[in-house]
Amino acid sequence: MFHKEGHKIILITLVLVVATIFAIDYFVSTEWLRKTLMLLVLVFFVLILQFFRNPKRFTNPDDKQAISPVDGKVVVIEEVFEKEVFNDKRIQVSVFMSPINVHVTRHPISGKVTYSKYHPGKYLVAWHPKASEENERTTVVVENEGFGKVLYRQIAGALAKRIVNYAVVDQNVKQGADSGFIKFGSRVDLFLPLDAEIKVSLNQKVKGGESVIAEMT
């Protein structure tokens, strides 16, 4: 199953791949070179398919838990001052996605969307300290009674050139449901209440829609 944001790119890539294979077959006479070039073109197409895959995830809804919005590796767990929305201290948990990770973004909690904003910006590497404030990004806040307010921020990386965000203010959303997509490498930051109990550790690999990031006791 492929994400809808990839349908157009996959179709265009398929047309280009077929045309390229025919061109290689027509113009390249050396057999080993022809086969090598064709294989490279097919590998490229497989990588595109892999990037836009959208596997089913099985979320166990829990209003007192915040789950990972994306697949990747936990690269930051620290107390920070969040100044865009809350203007107070929060626990930041950041998940870095490589180009081979699933790039679907999912809602970390169920509840009502109270804030959703797009920010144009730079394309610094996703692990850069200033990426959260200077890169192209979207900021979304979801609130429920069990967990409170959770802010998550999609951040474009050096390769990412388009962020898709489906969250709309006053919309009621479900934990684990599709909330957007980031094309070609990026990071997502979660900003959680200080009294949330963090359930992950640095460098831990997490699955979007399934791995529990934090819970309220």
Q: Cα–Cα distance between 88 and 91 in angstroms, integer?
A: 10
Q: Catalytic residue among 94, 132, 186, 211, which?
A: 186
186 is catalytic: yes
Mark 54-63 as b/e (b = at least 16 C-beta within 10 Å): beebebeebe
Beta carbons of 110 and 175 less than 8 angstroms apart: yes
**CB burial class (10 A; 0-12, 13-18, 19+) of residue 32?**
exposed
The encoded tokens of residue 112 equal 């009502």
Nearest Cα neighbor of 156 from 176, 173, 180, 175 is 180
Instruction: Give the count of beta carbons closer than 10 Å to the beta carbon of residue 156.
Output: 27
Nearest Cα neighbor of 63 from 109, 102, 96 is 109
CA distances from 216 to 73, 149, 211 (A): 22, 12, 15
Residues assigned a catalytic role: 186
